[in-house]
Structure 1
Amino acid sequence: MAMLGNSLLEGTVLFVSSFLLFAWLYFWYKFSYWQRRGVPHSKPTMIFGSYKDCVLQKECVGQFMQRMYNEGVGKRFFGCYVFTRPALVLRDPELMKEILVKEFNTFFNRNAQSNHQKDPLSQNLFLIKGELWRHLRLKMSPIFTSFRLKQMFPLINTCGKQLCQYVERSDKQIEMKEVAGKYATDVITTCAFGIESNSLLNPNAEFREFGRKIFDFSVYRSFEFMSAFMLPLVAKLMGITFFSRETTKFMRKTFWETIQEREEKKIERHDFLELLIKLKNGKDITNEKSMKNGLSTETLNGTTDVSNGIMKDSKPIQLEGDILVAQAAIFFTAGFESNASTTSFTLYELAMQPHLQTRLREEILHTLDKNEGQFTYEAIRDMEYLHMVISETLRKFPPLPILDRVAERDYVIPGTDITIEKGTTVYVPLLGIHMDPEVFPDPEHYDPERFNEKNRKARHPFMYLPFGEGPKYCIGKGFGLIASKVAVANVLANFIVSPCADTPSSIQLNPKAMILAARGGIRLKFTKLNR
């Protein structure tokens, strides 16, 4: 009996020892990937690689990539590990240009994973891959021309006026991110669905409730987003979805009921949904007058004639069913959260530096005087200092703080013998670039003069990329800028914004959020202007 017990103990010890040795050898091999290739890299920790603080939710993904960018100071690129997966962080703007633009056909897809069976609304322009993306981008691009934005502007500006009415009725000390979220929700719903969601008037408005649920970054929701963006295999195995069944059901119902009403009553409205209806019915909107401000034609790699990187000989697709709903869903989701963040961060920074606020208000009031007391699309677009202010906000707080691309084939980095192997993810760390003191001196200081004409021209264009670059630049860039500018212009034309007792002295980022957000919110004081 004693001999049997000793044998079991020895066997257990041998098994455990062998397992630990195998595990050590496995991780040692995985974490020597960049060392074997002679690439400077971060020192990994067991299991987590370079990603430990992000997994433990001590830092957000943007801060993680900023840390990798800073560790690679003086290098063109820097290796890291997301768990055991090797990834490359870019630091050289010319290499960023090479990968995002010139080598687009090699670095075509994003890393983000989606599940069309479990999450039908993930068939959207942000998440889909391959040829389907090419087709869809070509279909959708004409929707976001300057001509279209000008048509939508009155709808956006009405929401800006409602924002001022809300502030005037409120407690004067406002949690700005929540209020900006309500404004952004109203802007998106009226421009995407032609629906007055009344988020500013109704605290229980359905669209606002669903918006909160999508970006309610609990510990588990944060893990879901992190996995979808950074750990595609985990996301696939766990069946992680961007949109819940409840959200999908709500979006489908709202979308199709609105389309049916419009088609039955022959309602026409200058908004996103009207253009989607035209695409659904097979109408070609690319031949309309608006195209003079739309797609540009260029040649990538000197071989493929493309329109914004989209092959012209691609087979057509029919926009229908859930694919159509998915485009409205991502427009709503990405639009309201990024717009709310930009608006709230801008008002916070202007509250903390009243002289900047005063200068901007002078420009805003002067613009109103020239336009008979009304904002127009051209007036908002042409305010130079307002554009500088919003640009500085997007530098310091880029809503989506990283860009990612996956190598579709082996690629040798120019000027080196180092190969980025097929399947490797490459990251452009926007937060790291935008906060680089070599590019933006004293980066924590909020200074719109960084974006005056002289300073813009002196800077490499790929060292400021809040909307990305290349064929996959943010298609909603123009819409997002106009929506944020309208909110800020309307507020500053009517109120003085200042700190209150609960205003943080500096912004601390929420480590659970994928889109940059302030931890604990942003409370500000609003005083009505007498004019």
Structure 2
Amino acid sequence: MELMQHILWSSLGALALFYALVKFCLGYWKRRGILHVKPKFLWGNISEVVRGKKHVQQLLLYLYESYKGRAPFIGCYVLCKAFLLILDLELVSNILDSNDGYFTSRGLYNNVKVEPLSGNLFQLDGHRWRQLHAQSAPVFAANNLHKLLPQLLKSSRKLQLGLGVRKQELNVSQLLDSYNVESIAKLAYGLSSEDLSEFSLMTRSYWSNWSLWRAYLAMELPILARLVKYQSYERLANDYFYKLVQEQLQQQRKRDRQPLQSFLQLFAATDKSLTDAQIAAQAFGFILAGLQPLNATLGFCLYELALQPELQERTRAEIKRVLKANDGQLTTDGLKQLSYTKQVLNETLRLHTPYPFLLRRATREFELTESVFVIARGNNVVIPVAAIHRDPNIYVEPERFDPERFRPEAVLKRPAMSFLPFGQGLRGCIAKQLAEQQLLIGLVALLEHHKYEPSAETQIPMLYDPSKLLLIPRKDIKLSVQRLEKD
């Protein structure tokens, strides 16, 4: 009997301590006197997101619209973790650009010793990130992208062949995944088209063991996560990508004066040589940060053009004009001439922003100009990119797809930081030019000889998958595709 009473009182004591700890965490913004969204016990402000009722983009848009103009930022909670939601574009500029040295951390979990692939530029922070970023920046120079252009063009020709010659309903999402997987396999890993089956499988399975709760606990308690050797990615895929890079590097080192064919060669030739583990992590970064956003952007773009055939025809006409002026070949100069096509892609990135938010963590205390407020060292910051992109005060009728928004004169009229699909500043996407090139080349191949229309299987209106942090379609995008007769 005494034992049962002891267990009962111990359990009640533990529950009371847990309750007090949660309430203390959820009282952070109140104690600091910061305008904040009232949290729910344990869930914070994301209960509907966790339960799959809302995409995180919908929640951020609601908070942005509800509080914008009342303060430069508000406090909110992801479960029990306190975040600042930035509402003022001038403050966004401070965080991402003019004072980005205060916000060089993302606060993501990594454990390089146990999981070498987590040592990529996307996940690293602090001194290791600074050093790796300085070594990696020259890798993405325009001259290198020019030399690797033929590899992308080969993948795009294969994409074009996959569209067929007869009118058919096509799973566009699957086709685009094949194109981007092959492009990354060639550019980042130096693989040939014949070695893609296992690679493609692993790009779909590396996050199969991902859990929001485990990821949250790893971010909140990184020391404990490292002690228990928590891994973000599925072990089999982890081992595959790491071993693949080692094999490719060994083959590469046996050859003398080989032409530039992949980023592996560029990473291996940095001024202060990277280790094989560091190179493997950077190659994995192409998949982690790039594959799903590239797939989604091209898919959303075709979807919007299928709904507006006049815009589709205008884009195709420019593509044909540029190709004809360059003897049927897509060159670096030709890509620069695709001004309207790039407007179409930018409007896609605005309306269907792959990364609906940016994360930053203050590495030093930051005082807001002409304000009593301070962003404390260690505060986590959320910049609601997708909400900014749908602000009617910046973009008139923001739900309407209109590439004219990105005419040069229209862009100049908008405030800085009103378009952030690749982030900005020190922690902006280091591979932005490569991503834009891959998207443009893919869109040229898709539109040059084929037209797209909605089919009976096309999901209208577009719905996003609420179980994902990125903005990706809830269902695969399916369209009617037909080769143009005059071609």
The two structures have a TM-score, normalised by structure 1, of 0.84
Check conservation: 1:104, 1:471, Cα contact below 8 A. yes
Deviations 1:458-483 (A, max 9, x none): 11121111111111110010000110
Contact 1:341 1:516 in 2 (8 A): yes
Name the counterpart of 2:200: 208
* Aligned 8 A contact 2:93 2:416 in 1: no
Deviation at 1:172, TM superposition (A): 2.6
Aligned to 2:68: 73
Tell whether the 8 Å contact from 1:226 to 1:514 is kept in structure 2 after alignment: no
Shift of 1:269: 2.5
Given the alignment of the two structures, is residue 261 of structure 1 paired with residue 251 of structure 2, yes or no? yes
1: CA distance between counterparts of 2:179 and 2:221?
33
Q: Give 1:90 deviation, angstroms.
A: 0.5
Which of 373, 394, 397 pairs up with 1:418?
373
1:130-149 deviation digits (Å, cap 9, x = unpaired): 11111111111111111111
Q: 1:230 to 1:59 in 2, by over 3 A?
A: farther
Residues in 1 aligned to 2:172 and 2:214: alpha-carbon distance in whole angstroms: 26
Match in the other structure for 2:290? 335
Residue 31 of structure 1, CA deviation: 2.6
Q: CA deviation at 1:34?
A: 1.8
Is 1:482 the counterpart of 2:437 in the alignment? yes
Give yes or no for the alignment of 1:406 onto 2:361. yes
**Other structure's SS at 2:83 match:** strand
Give CA deviations for 1:478-509 in whole Å, capped at 9, x if unaligned. 00011011111111101001111010111111
Contact 1:60/1:514 (8 A) holds in 2: yes
Map of 1:250 onto structure 2: 240
| 1:381 and 1:482 in contact (8 A); partners too | no
Match of 1:429 among 349, 371, 384: 384
| Pairing 1:67-106 to 2, within 5 Å after superposition | 67-74=62-69, 75-106=71-102
**Superposed, which structure 2 residues align to 1:47-196 within 5 Å?**
47-74=42-69, 75-168=71-164, 172-196=168-192
What one-letter code is carried by the residue in structure 1 that aligns with 2:300? Answer: F
CA distance in 2, matches of 1:332, 1:230: 25
2:234, 2:443 → 1: CA distance? 32
Q: Deviations over 1:315-357 (max 9, x none)?
A: xx54112112111111233222221111111111111111110
Of 340, 363, 367, which residue of structure 2 is paired with 1:385?
340
- 3-state DSSP of counterpart to 1:463: coil
Shift of 1:258: 1.9
Report how far residue 100 of structure 1 moved: 1.7
Matched residue SS, 1:110:
coil
2: distance between equivalents of 1:447 and 1:230?
41
Show the counterpart of 2:446: 491
Task: Give the unaligned 5+ runs of structure 2.
Answer: none
Residue 104 of structure 1 deviates from its aligned partner by 2.3
Deviation at 1:369, TM superposition (A): 1.4
- Separation in 2 of the partners of 1:348 and 1:162? 21
**Residues 247, 524 of structure 1: CA spacing in aligned structure 2 closer, same or farther, 3 A cutoff?**
same
Change (3 A) 1:12 1:71: farther
- Tell me if the contact between 2:122 and 2:289 (Cα under 8 Å) persists in the aligned partners: no
Name the residue aligned to 1:312: none
> Which letter does structure 1 place at the counterpart of 2:406?
F
Preserved contact between residue 268 and residue 274 of structure 1 (Cα < 8 Å): no
Residue matched to 1:467: 422
Paired-residue identity, %: 29
In structure 1, distance between residues paired with 2:384 and 2:225 = 22
Q: Structure 1 pair 233/449, CA: closer, same or farther in 2 (3 Å)?
A: farther
CA contact (8 A) 2:165 2:482 kept: no
User: Structure 1 residues 371 and 84 mapped into 2: Cα distance closer, same or farther (>3 Å)?
Assistant: same
- The separation in 1 between residues aligned to 2:332 and 2:46, in whole angstroms, is 44
Task: Provide closer, same or farther for how the CA distance between residues 53 and 327 of structure 1 changes in structure 2, counting only shifts above 3 A.
Answer: same
Using the TM superposition, give the Cα deviation of residue 233 of structure 1 relative to its aligned residue in structure 2, in angstroms.
7.3
Q: How many residues align?
A: 484
3-state SS of the aligned residue for 1:195?
coil
Q: Please name the residue that 2:30 is paired with.
A: 35
2:422, 2:432 within 8 Å by CA — same for their partners in 1? Answer: yes
**How many angstroms apart in 1 are the aligned matches of 2:275 and 2:18?**
49
Deviation track 1:430-459 (CA, whole Å, cap 9, x = no partner) reads 111111222122222111111111210111
Report the CA distance between 1:381 and its aligned residue: 2.6
Q: What is the Cα deviation at residue 238 of structure 1?
A: 6.6
Please state how far the C-alpha of 1:171 moved relative to its aligned partner: 8.0
Structure 1 position 117, deviation (Å): 2.5
1:309 aligned residue? none
Once residues 377 and 366 of structure 1 are traced to their aligned partners in structure 2, the CA distance between those partners, rounded to angstroms, is: 15
- Structure 1 counterpart of 2:202, which letter? F
Q: How far, CA to CA, are the matches of 1:436 and 1:329 in structure 2?
A: 34
Residue equivalent to 1:295: none
Distance (Å, rounded) in 2 between the aligned partners of 1:253 and 1:273: 14
In structure 2, what is the Cα distance between the partners aligned to 1:42 and 1:153?
A: 48
| Match runs of 1:310-459 below 5 Å | 318-459=273-414
Any idea what SS the aligned residue of 1:44 has? coil
User: Judging changes above 3 Å, is the alpha-carbon distance between structure 1 residues 198 and 41 closer, same or farther for their aligned structure 2 residues?
Assistant: farther
For the residues of structure 2 that align with 1:64 and 1:429, how far apart are their CA atoms?
Answer: 10
CA distance in 2, matches of 1:396, 1:198: 36
CA deviation after TM superposition for structure 1 residue 223, in Å: 4.9
